[in-house]
Amino acid sequence: MEAARRWARALLRGAVPVAAGLLLWVAVGAGEERRQQTLKALPEVSPELLAQRRRQNELVMAALREAAETDENVARRPVPWRK
């Protein structure tokens, strides 16, 4: 009987942090969805601006990929995507 109580108490002590983490995860997830919907509704978000940002991200990723593939210090080189 005493072993069952200790087992139940240990199970409860382990379940409390898991439940708290799950509640925090749900709260943060709901806020993230709301934030993404708000960003989509902004008037500044136009197809042209999104295409420009996508192109900028592609250039940055290409520079990172090139830097990863070479031993040369590419940070000292003039970069075409810098404004």
Q: Tell me what the mean pLDDT of segment 1-23 comes to.
A: 90
Instruction: Tell me 74's DSSP state.
Output: G
- pLDDT at residue 83 tops 60: no
Closest CA to 60 of 74, 81, 76: 81
User: pLDDT-based confidence at 57, cuts 50/70/90?
Assistant: very high
User: What local confidence, expressed as pLDDT, does residue 56 receive?
Assistant: 94
- 31-50 confidence digits (pLDDT tens): 777 888 887 777 777 788 88
Under 8 Å between Cβ of 75 and 69: no
Question: What are the distances in angstroms from CA 82 to CA 2, 13, 30, 39?
Answer: 69, 53, 36, 26
Burial of 2 (0-12, 13-18, 19+ CB in 10 A): exposed
Name the residue ranges covered by the structural domains of the chain.
1-42, 44-82
